[in-house]
Amino acid sequence: MAKQDKEFVRDLTPMTEDYARWYVDVVRKADLADYTTIKGCMVIKPYGYALWENLRDALDRRIKATGHLNAYFPLFVPESLLKMEASHVEGFAPEVAWVTQAGQEPLEERLAIRPTSEAIIGSVYAKWVQSYRDLPLLINQWANVVRWEKRTRLFLRTSEFLWQEGHTCHRTYEEAQEETLRMLEVYREFVETELAIPVIPGVKTASERFAGAMETYCIEALMNDCQALQAGTSHNLGQNFAKVFGIKFLDVDNTEKFVWQTSWGVSTRLVGGIVMVHGDDFGLKLPPRVAPYQAVVVPITFGEATKPMVLEAAGKVVDSLRGAGVRTHFDNRDNLKPGFKFNEWELKGAPLRVEVGPKDIEKKQAVVARRIDRRKDFVPLDDLPKAVPTRLDEIQTEMLEAARRFVRANTHRVQSYEEFKQVIEEKKGFIEAGWDGTPESEAQVKDDTKATIRCIPLQGGEPDGLIDLVSGKPAKHKVLFARAY
């Protein structure tokens, strides 16, 4: 390893030394995002944004395939609108950014920058929905939202972030509930298939519910520091917003009724999830399906004599891979050594690296290195257009399987509160335990251990004869505890 290569890698704080610093190091040095002078706001750099675009497009296809249409609603929510749903404004007021002035003049009414769009969209839907024929109304929006956060972390918690928010109206409670669970399943399948992040779908307790919702469902993921990350939420809003904003329709039976609504969203925080589920001390590992570059071709040029030949051969490899539909980057920078490039693309998590040197060309082969285990082998040049896509598929599968094994290995079942405290302190991870359904027990555990109920899993949430950790009473549910981001 050349000296500069060592230094390059040494720049990354090891995960075991300081996980939070490792995370920030990876996000910044892999060129995903960076801080700005504006408190809590980040800039998403081109490499990070390309990752977000792939993720967004993959989800957008699924949102459209399930019958939803995209639209765009205003950035601003007048204070009077935001205040109409009492628990909604109570939940969001502490983190709302307020516009009070435009040009030289003060506004008559303060405008909130949307922290979420239920209020503004509800007021518009009241005009759009008239008859049962207008239902279901299935709309999604890709947008920026602002929640003024005291403590921020790149991607995980920023004052401004990008997300999609679905907002739907239905004739009946049952249809709304079906939609809520349908979109939860869309999220689960999307996150597992595209991001190779296994998740536990479940329902939130009342204390963790979205402000204004009847029920909040979520998918919960486990990061490689054994803390949990809420990766997406889907809310059955009931008729709370419909009643407040007057979203009514004339039903088939000729009577006027309020609609039943849902809303659901995932955000740029998923990028943080990718970093923390798959990353290691060498940096990022990107799932091939969303990686900006699935393969990076590095020409190995020793001396000027063979350089033109190597660059030409490497260029042909690039063309053949692109022809095979592989997102391929040609790293033909002239001022950097191959070893430096290897380290950089490991840091940036490119799933495959293809090295082409003079000897390889003689043997009509290339070196192919997998980021996930850093294994290298030789592949005949002619085989690359078939071999690379196959390997990308394999890597995607292996990443999901490895992450699944990690979740299994770090999901613990405890019988007593003592055991719980020991596990949360020493191992963290997901802890399955009994809960009697009271907010008191839930709050006590949080106060004592900083662990929260991530969800009551949709599968396996039965009490199973467990007892509540705190009260010792018979459990109403088996729930999943964890310390969370």
Q: Which is nearer to a copy of itself, 34 or 225 (CB)?
A: 34
**Comparison of 167 and 476: residue with beta carbon closer to a copy of itself:** 167
* Residue (79 or 225) nearer to a copy of itself, CB: 79
Rule CB under 8 A: which of 85-114 touch a copy of itself? 93-104, 110-111, 113
**# residues near a copy of itself by CB under 8 A:** 52
Residues 127-146 that bind a copy of itself (CB under 8 A): 127, 133, 139, 143-144, 146
Cα separations in angstroms, 465 against 422, 425, 434, 469, 472: 22, 25, 8, 13, 12
Q: Using the rule CB under 8 A, is 472 a contact of a copy of itself?
A: no
Q: Among all chains, which residue has been given the structure tokens 């071709």?
A: 297
Quote the tokens at residue 297. Answer: 């071709």
Nearest CB to a copy of itself, comparing residues 187 and 245 = 245
Amino acid residing at 200: I
Give the contact letters, 278-307, x = binds to a copy of itself (CB under 8 A), - = no: ------------------------------
Compute how many other C-beta atoms are within 10 angstroms of the C-beta atom of residue 355. 21
How many other C-beta atoms lie within 10 A of the C-beta of residue 426? 8
CB of 7 within 8 A of CB of 342? no
Check binding of 8 to a copy of itself (CB under 8 A).
Answer: no
Q: How many Cα atoms occupy the beta-carbon half-sphere of 327 within 13 Å?
A: 15
For residue 379, state whether it binds a copy of itself (rule: CB under 8 A). no
Q: Residue 190 phi/psi, 5° resolution?
A: -60, -50
Q: Does residue number 124 form part of the binding site for a copy of itself (CB under 8 A)?
A: yes
Query: Does position 254 bind a copy of itself by CB under 8 A?
Result: no
CA 306, 310, 313, 319 torsion-angle sign: negative
> Binding to a copy of itself by residue 482, rule CB under 8 A?
no
For residue 206, give the DSSP letter.
G
Rule CB under 8 A: say whether 252 interacts with a copy of itself. Answer: no
465 is an interface residue for a copy of itself by CB under 8 A: no
Region for residue 152 given its phi and psi (left: phi exceeds 0; alpha: psi -120 to 50; beta: otherwise): beta
Task: Report the residue from 36, 207, 397, 416 that binds a copy of itself according to the rule CB under 8 A.
Answer: 36
Based on the shown chain and the rule CB under 8 A, indicate whether residue 120 belongs to the binding site for a copy of itself. Answer: yes
Least distance to a copy of itself, CB of residue 142, Å: 10
Rounded to whole angstroms, the Cα distance separating 250 from 253 reads 8
Of 138, 152, 139, 141, nearest to 116 (Cα)?
141
Q: Is 123 in the site for a copy of itself (CB under 8 A)?
A: yes
- Beta bridge partners, 249, equal 257
Q: Does 73 bind a copy of itself (CB under 8 A)?
A: yes
With binding defined as CB under 8 A, does residue 75 bind a copy of itself?
Answer: yes
The least distance separating a copy of itself from the CB of residue 475, rounded to whole angstroms, comes to 38
- Cβ closest to a copy of itself, residue 28 vs residue 182: 28
Phi, psi of 137 (to 5 degrees): -105, 115
**Residue 181 near a copy of itself by CB under 8 A:** no
Structural contact between residues 231 and 186, judged by C-beta atoms closer than 8 angstroms: no
**How deeply is 479 buried, as exposed, middle or buried, from its count of CB atoms within 10 A (0-12, 13-18, 19+)?**
buried
CB of 36 to a copy of itself, least distance (A): 6
Q: How is 277-313 classified by DSSP, letter by letter?
A: HH-BTTB----TTT-S-SEEEEE---HHHHHHHHHHH
Q: Which is nearer to a copy of itself, 68 or 235 (CB)?
A: 68
The reply to whether 53 sits near a copy of itself by the rule CB under 8 A is yes
The answer to whether residue 380 forms part of the interface with a copy of itself (CB under 8 A) is no
The binding site for a copy of itself (CB under 8 A) comprises 34, 36-38, 41-46, 49-50, 52-53, 69-76, 78, 81, 93-104, 110-111, 113, 120, 123-124, 127, 133, 139, 143-144, 146, 148, 160, 162, 335
